[in-house]
Amino acid sequence: MLDDPDVASALAGLEKRQVISRIWSGDHTVWKPDPTEIADRLGWLTVTDLMREQAPMLEAFAMEVRQAAFKHLVLLGMGGSSLGPEVLRQTFGSAPGYPVLTVLDSTVPAWVQAVAEAIDPAQTLFLISSKSGSTTEPNMFYAYFRGLVEQAVGQEAAGRHFIAVTDPGSSLARLGEEQGFRRVFLNPTDLGGRYSVLSYFGLVTAAVIGLDILKLLDRADQMRERTKPSVPAHDNPGAWLGAVMGVLAQKGRDKLTLVTSPAISSFGLWVEQLIAESTGKEGLGIIPVAGEPIASPDHYGDDRFFVYLRLDGDDNDKSDEAIKAIETSGQPVARLDLRDIYDIGAEFFRWEMATAVAGSIMGINPFDQPNVQAAKDMTESVLGQFEGSGKLPAMEDSVHIGKLLDMAVPGDYLVIMAYIRQTPEVDLALDALRRRVTERYGIATTMGYGPRFLHSTGQLHKGGPATGLFLQITAEHVQDLDIPGAPFTFGVLADAQALGDLQALRASGRRSVRVDVGLRPEQGIRKVADQLV
Determine if residue 299 is left, alpha or beta; phi over 0 gives left, psi from -120 to 50 gives alpha, anything else beta. Answer: alpha
Res 152 pLDDT > 60: yes
The separation between the first and the last C-alpha atoms of the chain, rounded to the nearest angstrom, is 34
- The pLDDT score that the predictor gives to residue 406 is 94
Q: 467 and 413 in contact (C-beta within 8 Å)? A: yes
373-396 pLDDT, tens digit each? 888 889 999 999 999 999 999 888
**pLDDT, the chain, mean:** 96
Q: Does the pTM of the predicted model rise above 0.95?
A: yes
444-459 pLDDT, tens digit each? 999 999 999 998 899 9
> Domains, the chain, ranges and CATH?
5-30+218-362 (3.40.50.10490), 44-211 (3.40.50.10490), 372-530 (3.40.50.10490)
- The pLDDT score that the predictor gives to residue 455 is 87
Query: What does the pLDDT average to over 221-249?
Result: 97
- pLDDT band at residue 399 under the 50/70/90 scheme: confident
Whether the ω angle into residue 109 lies within 30 degrees of 0, i.e. cis, is no
Q: Look up residue 159 and give its DSSP letter.
A: G
Q: 240 and 11 in contact (C-beta within 8 Å)? A: yes
Query: What does the pLDDT average to over 518-531?
Result: 95
- The pLDDT score that the predictor gives to residue 332 is 97
**312 C-beta neighbours (distance < 10 Å), count:** 11
Q: CA–CA separation, 482 vs 476, rounded Å? A: 16
Q: CA–CA separation, 124 vs 149, rounded Å? A: 9
What is the Rg, in whole angstroms, of the alpha carbon atoms belonging to the chain? 22
CA 166-167-169 angle, to 5 degrees, is 115
- The pLDDT score that the predictor gives to residue 248 is 97
Res 533 pLDDT > 80: no
- The pLDDT score that the predictor gives to residue 372 is 85
Q: Look up residue 489 and give its DSSP letter.
A: B
- The pLDDT score that the predictor gives to residue 470 is 97
- pLDDT band at residue 1 under the 50/70/90 scheme: low
Helix axes 237-250, 5-16, angle to 10 degrees: 120
355-378 pLDDT, tens digit each? 999 999 999 999 999 988 888 889
Q: CA–CA separation, 520 vs 370, rounded Å? A: 36
Q: 71 and 100 in contact (C-beta within 8 Å)? A: yes
